[in-house]
Structure 1
Amino acid sequence: MPASGVLTPRTVASLSGGHPKRLEDEIVANMERWRWLPRDLGQRYVAVNIPDYSLDVYDGERPIHHARVVVGKPGHETPIFSEAMKFIIVNPYWNVPLSIVNKEMMPKLAADPNYFENHGYEVVEKGGETYVRQPPGDSNALGRIKFMFPNKFAVYLHDTNAKGYFNKDERALSHGCVRVDQPFKLAEAVLGRDRGWTEARVEGMVGGGERTVNLPRPVQVHIGYFTAFVDETGQLRLRDDVYGYSAKVRAALGLSS
């Protein structure tokens, strides 16, 4: 637990000797959220835990890969859902969401008419619509690879050109998508080393235009929210309620505030 100088809910829950009921209620709230997951998680699946800022890949009950992640900041929360990953894209374009264009880019464009050109963005017209995109390259916000599991939230896992964020303890910093540390190791885990897809092979595809690789079989992705969980050593771990969801579940269950 990093030193913060602030008495957070996680700190209070950790002082369980004085607040056993609070800790019990937090565990019950997390057990309730477990009920929301599919009964069958999949033979090989990816589990993202938002409050832990982590990602794990499992083959059955066996963890085969662990990585740090950056998730959405409050106000741009990463949604909680499950969907099937079907393909990855190496050297991706970043199609800038309209909300980011309107709120963050247009004021800069008003001050500098050459803002898009000077920062490497392209303005493209397609199907009667105009949108802004960032071509593949070292400065691309998605980094060099993204992992696609089509969903109504337009959220996915991806690399990043801002590697320094992974050194922070609190990593709720994105606009909603999940940025992944060591993304080429993740690619090896979901594509299958036994099928010849090593980390080095995927990384060797970097450079040039977009390249799509279909997964040999879909891999389930479960984005969850667990502030209390048991780690691989059997120890209870507690995390801050970064989005306030745990407090809402406790209230709905009639538990402590």
Structure 2
Amino acid sequence: MRVPLRFTYRFLLLVMLGLTAACTPLQPGVSAMDEPPSRALSEFEQLMKRLGSPLVLPSGKAILVNVPAYELVAFEDGVPVMRSRIIVGSPRNPTPLVDTHVSRVTFRPTWRPTPDMIEFENYEDKVWPPGRNNPLGLAAVRLDPGMLVYLHDTNQRGLFARDGRALSHGCIRVQRWDELIAWIVERDLDWVRAMAETPPSKEVQAPAIPVLIRYLRVFPAADGTVYKHHDIYGLEPEPDQARTSSRGL
């Protein structure tokens, strides 16, 4: 669930130009990867600062995974160049909020369930062969350090039509996986799809593009509308909920 806030990108640009009242101030807690880049802040970064969710992206290419928005955004020098719907970890198996980077791309990956999935979820203890029926789909972007969390295709693409997409065991399923990989390795879509469709399995080294996995509930959509997204992991209780919780301690 997402709730549109009563302002848009155009309004926030006026704020940044000093033509209306200022918005929420900067909040503490910026990670080490949010060091000022060797360039001026992009309009997107200025917008996030005004929203009270400072996000300073590395120069060059970067990938932002915004968990509560169920969205991946690819950036070049702080400017969004591609967006994709994603499926993230469930509340029971949350996607870790980490800074990492791309290491390689696996085309036609195999997959084996984790011991917990075998023990508690009745998965068969076997290696799933490559192909469209593989849970990782036709390709996976490996992260380093990744803690077995990938950006990958899926064999359940119909789930991208859902509004609530906290459905995975922690990995990040990407609807536009082929376009993302083409952007990462700087090849065309035909090449990516041929690699994914044609046996055998293949590993391709990729540039170490930074990947920031974040929990930004207030976030602008592609059209500039700013939404407040549902707190799917219960990390940011509303003030009334926080007071209730503290009384119960």
TM-score for both structures, normalised by structure 1:
0.71
Which residue of structure 2 lines up, in the alignment, with residue 245 of structure 1?
A: 235
- In terms of fraction of residues, the more strand-rich structure is 1
- 1:36 is displaced (CA, Å) by 2.8
1:90 partnered with 2:104: no
For structure 2, the 5+ residue unaligned runs are 8-23, 36-56, 244-249
Partner of 2:205: 214
1:32 Cα deviation after fit: 4.4
Q: CA deviation at 1:231?
A: 4.3
Matches of 1:155 and 1:45, distance apart in 2: 17
The one-character-per-residue Cα deviations of 1:153-189 (angstroms, maximum 9, x if unpaired) are 2111110010110000110011110000021101011
Distance in 2, matches of 1:85 and 1:134, equals 24
What aligned pairs does 1:23-172 form with structure 2 within 5 A after superposition?
31-32=27-28, 35-36=30-31, 38-40=33-35, 41-42=57-58, 43-105=60-122, 116=124, 132-151=126-145, 153-172=147-166
Is 1:188 the counterpart of 2:182 in the alignment?
yes
Give the superposition deviation at 1:207: 2.7
Q: What residue number does 1:203 align with?
A: 193
Deviation of residue 90 (structure 1)? 0.2
In 1, the alpha carbon distance for the partners of 2:96 and 2:210 equals 16
Q: TM-score, normalised by structure 2?
A: 0.73
C-alpha distance in 1 between matches for 2:224 and 2:176: 26
Q: Count residues in correspondence.
A: 203
What RMSD in Å do the two structures reach over aligned CA positions? Answer: 2.8
Contact 2:100 2:146 in 1 (8 A): no
**Which runs of 5 or more structure 1 residues have no equivalent in the other structure?**
2-9, 17-26, 107-115, 117-122, 124-131, 253-257
CA apart distance, 1:246: 1.6
Offset of residue 235 of structure 1: 3.8
SS class of match (1:95)? coil
* Cα 1:152–1:142 shift into 2, 3 Å: closer
Render the CA deviation track for 1:34-85: whole Å, top value 9, x for unaligned: x136124332011010000000100112211110000011111001001110
| Percent identical residues | 28
Q: Which amino acid aligns with 1:238?
A: K
Partner secondary structure for residue 143 of structure 1:
coil
Seen in structure 2, the aligned counterparts of structure 1 residues 138 and 236 have a Cα distance that, compared at 3 Å, is closer
Measure how far apart 1:220 and its partner are: 0.6
